[in-house]
């Protein structure tokens, strides 16, 4: 499901126009971005948690030219699905 499909599905679900939904989605993402900028996590019920993780700096060797590089520390966004949802995904393959 790409962005377009997602928006149209969401529009159907909410009964709003696609353009409006896209706008709201963008605003919501902005809002989430602001939260992340402040260093907060976002926990959504029945969905999961968006977490900020700090990755430490490390020395890496480039596989192509063998150069050693110092990779700086960085913050990354990770998402952990809600346990119930995760389990349902996990077991889906086994059915």
Partner 1 sequence: MEKNKINLDALATILAGKCGITKKEAQQFLSDFIYIIKIGVDADNLVKIKGLGTFKVIDVENRESVNINTGERVLIEGHQKLTFTPDSTMKELVNKPFSHFETVILKDGVDFPEEKESEEELAVEEELAVEEELAVEEELAVEEEPAVEEEPAVEEEPAVVDEQKDVDEVVGPSFLAEEPVAEEPVAEEPFAEVPVAEEPVAEEPVAEEPVAEVPIAEEPAEHHKKSYLPWLLVAVLACGVLFGVGYWLGSQKQVEPVVAEMPAETTTPVEATIPAEAPTPGETTDSVEPEAATAAEMATAEIEQTATETVQPVQTEQPKEQKPAVSAQQKEWQKYDAMDQRVRLGAYGIVGVKETISAKEGETLGRISRRILGPDMECYVEVLNGMKAADVLKAGQKVKIPQLELKKRLKKQQKES
Binding site for partner 1 (CB under 8 A): 1-3, 5-6, 9-10, 13-14, 23-47, 49, 52, 57, 59, 67-79, 81, 85-86, 89-94
Comparison of 46 and 63: residue with beta carbon closer to partner 1: 46
* Four-CA torsion 57, 63, 67, 73, nearest 10 degrees: -10
Comparison of 38 and 63: residue with beta carbon closer to partner 1: 38
Nearest distance from residue 43's CB to partner 1, in Å?
A: 5
Nearest distance from residue 28's CB to partner 1, in Å?
A: 5
Residue 57 to residues 36, 50, 51, 63, Cα–Cα distance (Å): 20, 22, 19, 18
Q: Helix or strand or coil: residue 62?
A: coil
Nearest distance from residue 63's CB to partner 1, in Å?
A: 14
Of 26, 21, 23, whose CA–CA distance to 5 is shortest? 21
Token pair of 94, please? 């086994």
Token pair of 47, please? 């969905």
Nearest distance from residue 83's CB to partner 1, in Å?
A: 12
């Amino acid at each position: 499901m790409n962005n377009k499909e997602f928006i149209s599905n969401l529009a159907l679900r909410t009964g709003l126009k696609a353009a409006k939904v896209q706008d709201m989605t963008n605003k919501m993402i902005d809002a989430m971005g602001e939260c992340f900028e402040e260093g907060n996590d976002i926990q959504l019920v029945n969905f999961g948690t968006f977490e900020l993780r700090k990755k430490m700096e490390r020395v890496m060797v480039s596989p192509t030219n063998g150069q050693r590089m110092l990779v700086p520390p960085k913050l990354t966004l990770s998402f952990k699905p809600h346990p119930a949802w995760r389990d349902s995904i996990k077991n889906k393959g086994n059915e």
